[in-house]
Amino acid sequence: MSRSLLGRLRRTAGSLRRFVQGSSIYDLPVSVCEPEKSKVVVLAPHMDDEVLGCGGTIARHARAQADITVVFLTDGRLGGDVAVRKAEARRAADVLGVRTLHFLDAQDSGLGRDTRVAGRLRDTLENERPDIVYLPFLLESHPDHRATNDVLFAATRGSPLRFECRGYEVWTPLFPNRAVNIDATIDLKRQAMGCYASQLAVRDYLHASLGLNAYRAMSLPVGTAQYVEAFHVQELSQYRRLHEALLR
């Protein structure tokens, strides 16, 4: 390993350690969150992230008669045929009870370099005016997942929009402060993920996701739930400050 790379790794580790130890996210109490009837927007960097990260919660919102919009930021070209993936996304949405989908079609694995997607997202958010926005948590390991946060902050810069951000986990366990019992909708999550046949042919993402959901049930009192989706929840302004602290 080169000295320059080692130095960068040490600086990154030190920055993250200071961020975690100096912030309230390290040992937040986890409370049960009941998905409500509200205006909900789900940001998914790729088609299937919405199911893996919060599919059971989306279905619970739908059962509460929430108005749910899922926004796919990239076109998924590196994960297969784009038309196939969009068709799979529509079938999964039908299973979960989502009525509105938007495809912003940024380049897969290039979300952080796209200069137009933030404007498109801003138009969507201003039209939908959500109470809640779900998105991959800002410490996710996948670059498109992290870039989703950058896109959201760019889209809302200078905007009067106010909503609650609920960060979800796909590739990287987060520091949760909310937990949603998805026992009643776990079968819908399975069915929705089953719609993504092109992705399951590559890897059993569903198995991994359900394992994480089973583990997260340990955050609640014994016997409360078998499957839980965990979130880090902050108002937009607070979530932005959390992101800025990490960048520093």
One pLDDT digit (tens) per residue for the chain, 248 residues:
455 555 554 555 555 555 555 555 556 789 999 999 999 999 999 999 999 999 999 999 999 999 999 999 999 999 999 999 999 999 999 999 999 999 999 999 999 999 999 999 999 999 999 999 999 999 999 999 999 999 999 999 999 999 999 999 999 999 999 999 999 999 999 999 999 999 999 999 999 999 999 999 999 999 999 999 999 999 999 999 999 988 76
Dmax over Cα atoms in the chain, in whole Å? Answer: 56
Domain boundaries, the chain: 31-247
Euclidean distance between CA atoms 229 and 231, whole angstroms: 7
- The model's pTM: 0.90
Burial class of 207 by CB neighbour count within 10 A (0 to 12, 13 to 18, 19+): exposed
Q: What local confidence, expressed as pLDDT, does residue 247 receive?
A: 77
Closest CA to 93 of 63, 48, 152, 136: 48
In 3-state terms, the chain is what percent helix, strand and coil (to 5)?
Answer: 50, 20, 30
Task: Tell me the backbone φ, ψ of residue 225, rounded to 5 degrees.
Answer: -155, 155
Give me 116's structure tokens.
Answer: 């137009």
Euclidean distance between CA atoms 50 and 228, whole angstroms: 15
What are the start-end ranges of the E strands in the chain? 31-32, 39-44, 67-74, 100-106, 132-136, 164-168, 178-181, 228-235
Q: What local confidence, expressed as pLDDT, does residue 28 receive?
A: 76
Query: What percentage of residues in the chain have a pLDDT greater than 70?
Result: 89
> How many residues belong to the chain?
248
Q: Within a 13 Å sphere around the CA of 38, how many CA atoms are in the beta-carbon half?
A: 17
Superfamily name with CATH number, domain 31-247: LmbE-like (3.40.50.10320)
Q: What local confidence, expressed as pLDDT, does residue 165 receive?
A: 98
Q: What local confidence, expressed as pLDDT, does residue 116 receive?
A: 96
Residue 126 CA, chain-centre distance (Å), reads: 20
